């Protein structure tokens, strides 16, 4: 164990008096140059100065209170609707709660720069680790890596940088396709969201692949993608799809990027008087509340986001020796997908 550092050592290193260091660390600003103030604090932090007087939270009885930080990919707000990440947070939250660990939202990718990240880490209450929700940019990930904290990436993997837990989208799509094919469907459509994110491509590719395996083809005209991934996007996708299918053999099986897209598509169908699941079947890669918020429940398949959150908690809690050195060996967990037949799919109409 490194021996503790004293104010005197800091003072000597900086060429000032111990008194000044003491004043500064106690927050005295009057009569102290701003420059000195910052310099002394920076030195104290860097050298890992710990005040005497004890009382480090680490030693408090019973309590081992610490917290886990959460950062979100760019473009996501805390108030995001029924989106997957609120379920993930919930899973994380409940898993950590028993251990007296709380969850702090540190911000989104866009809000945090290196300075802010550093500040977060230099707090005293022990920060157990950080969970990253979604796909963030490489440099941001790098900056996080330099914090030397436990990191877990959720819904995106960062090979060589941290552990990750991702849903098994391939399996989800396969389950949906298999279900729909079993019901007799042959003409498929893809209603995609978040066109720019990798998850869209991944799911679409899985769809094409599985259909191919069943000797079916996904007509490119029936691949519709939207920028976002919310209800209105689903509605718009459905509208676009119908325009493209005008006068032709309509696809009877709509596979949707997520539940909100599916709900939007469903609403479009209601307005057009299209029967679901009488005329078309709708299925979504989803396992959020959107699936069961109201009847008809969605036919859906996805990895349980709460489970993913809970697993993230486990990864954070696990000791280095259990799962290899942090910052050395990384685990990529893939959460299994669960299929749930809902009320939006039925046998293909004649």
Partner DNA sequence: GACACATTTTAATAAATATAAGTTGACGAG
Partner DNA sequence: CTCGTCAACTTATATTTATTAAAATGTGTC
**Residues of this chain, 27-46, that bind its own copies according to CB under 8 A:** 27, 34, 37-38, 41, 44-45
- Using CB atoms within 10 Å of the CB of residue 85, give its burial: 0 to 12 exposed, 13 to 18 middle, 19+ buried: buried
Near DNA by CB under 7 A, which window of 29-37, 199-207, 208-216, 277-285?
29-37
Minimum CB separation of residue 9 from DNA in Å reads 8
Whichever of 70 and 207 has its CB closer to its own copies, that residue is 70
* Residues in binding contact with DNA, number by CB under 7 A: 23
**Per CB under 7 A, 6 contacts DNA:** yes
Report what 33 binds from DNA, its own copies, none; CB cut-off 5-8 Å by kind: DNA
The long-range contacts involving 224-227, CB below 8 angstroms and separated by at least 24 positions, are: 224/189, 224/190, 224/191, 224/192, 225/190, 225/192, 225/193, 225/195, 225/200, 226/191, 226/192, 226/193, 226/195, 226/261, 227/193, 227/194, 227/195, 227/196
Near DNA by CB under 7 A, which window of 27-35, 63-71, 223-231, 338-346?
27-35
Report what 248 binds from DNA, its own copies, none; CB cut-off 5-8 Å by kind: none
Interacting residues of 340 by C-beta distance below 8 A, sequence separation 6+? 287, 291, 297, 299, 300, 301
What string marks each residue from 265 to 284 as x (binds its own copies by CB under 8 A) or -?
--x--xx-------------
Count of alpha carbons within 13 angstroms of residue 256, beta-carbon side: 34
**Of these, 12, 33, 118, 142, which contacts DNA (CB under 7 A)?**
33
Nearest Cα residue to 25 out of 9, 42, 13, 4: 42
**Per CB under 7 A, 32 contacts DNA:** yes
What string marks each residue from 76 to 105 as x (binds its own copies by CB under 8 A) or -?
-xxxxxx---xx-xx--x---x--x-xxxx
Whichever of 20 and 218 has its CB closer to its own copies, that residue is 20
What backbone torsions phi and psi does residue 112 show, to the nearest 5 degrees? -110, 125
Q: Which of residues 44-63 bind its own copies (CB under 8 A)?
A: 44-45, 49-63
Q: What is the DSSP letter of 181?
A: H
**Of these, 8, 111, 146, 343, which contacts its own copies (CB under 8 A)?**
111
**Per CB under 8 A, 122 contacts its own copies:** yes
**Phi-psi map region of 67: left, alpha, beta (phi>0 left; psi -120 to 50 alpha):** beta
**Of these, 215, 295, 322, 350, which contacts its own copies (CB under 8 A)?**
295
Nearest Cα residue to 84 out of 233, 306, 338, 344: 306
> Cα separation of 47 and 305, whole Å?
40
> Cα separation of 345 and 10, whole Å?
70
Buried b (16+ CB within 10 A) or exposed e, 329-349: ebeebebebbbbbbebbbebe
> Cα separation of 303 and 324, whole Å?
26
What string marks each residue from 34 to 63 as x (binds DNA by CB under 7 A) or -?
-xx--------------xxxx---------
Minimum CB separation of residue 23 from DNA in Å reads 5
**Per CB under 8 A, 293 contacts its own copies:** yes
Question: How many CB atoms are located within 10 Å of the residue 157 CB?
Answer: 19
Whichever of 44 and 224 has its CB closer to DNA, that residue is 44
Report what 125 binds from DNA, its own copies, none; CB cut-off 5-8 Å by kind: its own copies
| Whether residue 277 has a cis bond before it, omega within 30° of 0 | yes
**Per CB under 7 A, 23 contacts DNA:** yes
Q: Which of residues 196-235 bind its own copies (CB under 8 A)?
A: 230-232, 235
Minimum CB separation of residue 82 from its own copies in Å reads 5
**Of these, 22, 64, 318, 327, which contacts DNA (CB under 7 A)?**
22
Q: Is 12 helix (H, G, I), strand (E, B) or coil?
A: helix
Q: Give contact residues for DNA (rule: CB under 7 A).
A: 4, 6-8, 15-20, 22-23, 25-26, 31-33, 35-36, 51-54
């Amino acid at each position: 164990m490194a021996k503790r550092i004293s104010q005197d050592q800091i003072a000597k290193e900086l060429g000032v008096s111990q008194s000044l260091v003491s004043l500064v660390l106690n927050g005295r600003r009057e009569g102290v140059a701003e420059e000195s103030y910052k310099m002394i604090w920076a030195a104290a932090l860097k050298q890992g100065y710990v005040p005497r007087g004890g009382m480090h939270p680490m030693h408090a009885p019973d309590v081992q209170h610490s917290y886990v930080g959460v950062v979100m990919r760019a473009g996501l707000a805390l108030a995001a609707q029924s989106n997957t990440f609120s379920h993930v947070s919930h899973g994380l939250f409940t898993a950590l709660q028993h251990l007296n660990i709380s969850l702090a939202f540190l911000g989104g990718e866009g809000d945090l720069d290196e300075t802010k990240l550093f500040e977060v880490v230099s707090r005293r209450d022990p920060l157990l680790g950080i969970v990253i929700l979604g796909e963030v940019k490489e440099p941001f990930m790098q900056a996080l890596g330099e914090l030397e904290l436990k990191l877990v990436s959720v819904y995106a993997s960062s090979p060589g940088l941290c552990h990750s837990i991702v849903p098994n989208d391939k399996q989800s799509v396969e389950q949906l396709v298999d279900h729909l094919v079993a019901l007799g469907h042959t003409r498929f459509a893809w209603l995609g969201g978040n066109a720019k994110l990798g998850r869209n491509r991944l799911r679409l590719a899985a769809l094409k692949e599985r259909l191919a395996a069943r000797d079916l083809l996904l007509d490119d005209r029936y691949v519709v993608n939207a920028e976002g991934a919310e209800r209105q996007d689903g509605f718009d996708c459905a509208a676009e799809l119908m325009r493209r299918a005008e006068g032709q053999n309509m696809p009877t099986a709509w596979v949707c990027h997520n539940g909100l897209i599916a709900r939007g598509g469903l609403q479009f169908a209601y307005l057009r008087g299209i029967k679901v699941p009488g005329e078309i079947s709708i299925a979504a890669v989803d396992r959020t509340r959107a699936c069961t918020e109201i009847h008809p429940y969605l036919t859906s398949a996805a990895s349980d986001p709460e489970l993913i959150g809970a697993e993230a908690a486990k990864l954070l809690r696990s000791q280095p020796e259990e799962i290899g050195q942090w910052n050395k060996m990384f685990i990529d967990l893939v959460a299994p997908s669960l299929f749930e037949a809902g009320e939006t799919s039925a046998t293909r109409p004649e």
